[in-house]
Amino acid sequence: NFQKMIRQHWSIENNCHWVLDVIFREDANQTRKNNAPKNFGTLLRIVLNILKQDTSLKGSLAKKRRHAALDVVYREVLLFSRA
């Protein structure tokens, strides 16, 4: 029924925002000017998808994000090793 479809849609939306907030602290972001918030949100979703697709490192998305922040070689793997 229609109500069930709406609840499922918002469940998916809420899960996505929860991941962005937990992994990237999106809610703490102070970006407010012009298109910057939308652009930054788009960039975070791209990064999230890259981290989710990566199989070279085992572990959580938070672990992969931290590793990418500290390891240039791992960042290169994430950015340039696309099948």
CB 37 within 8 A of CB 47: no
Kindly report the number of other CB atoms within 10 A of residue 37's CB atom: 14
Q: Is the pLDDT of residue 18 over 80?
A: no
CB 64 within 8 A of CB 51: yes
CB 54 within 8 A of CB 47: no
Q: Which residues lie below 8 Å from residue 19, measured CB to CB, with a gap of 6+?
A: 48, 61
What's the pLDDT tens digit per position in 44-75?
888 898 999 999 999 998 999 999 999 999 99
Where is pLDDT greater, at 16 or 19? 19
Instruction: Tell me 71's DSSP state.
Output: -
pTM score of the predicted model: 0.66
